[in-house]
Amino acid sequence: MVASWVMQASFNPLGVAMAVAKDRAIESFLQSGDRFVLNVLEEGNYQHLIKHFLKRFPPGADRFEGIKTVPANNGSPIIAESLAYMECQVTSRLECSDHWIIYSKVEGGRVSKFEGLTAVHHRKVGNYY
Render pLDDT for 21-32 as a digit per residue (tens, 0 to 9): 898 888 888 999
Burial of 121 (0-12, 13-18, 19+ CB in 10 A): exposed
Domain 5-111: which topology? Pnp Oxidase; Chain A (2.30.110)
Q: What is the dihedral of CA 25, 90, 5, 71, to 10 degrees?
A: -80
pLDDT band for 4, please (50, 70, 90 cuts).
confident
Domain ranges of the chain: 5-111
> Amino acid letter at 90?
V
- Write the pLDDT tens digit of every residue in 110-120: 998 777 888 77
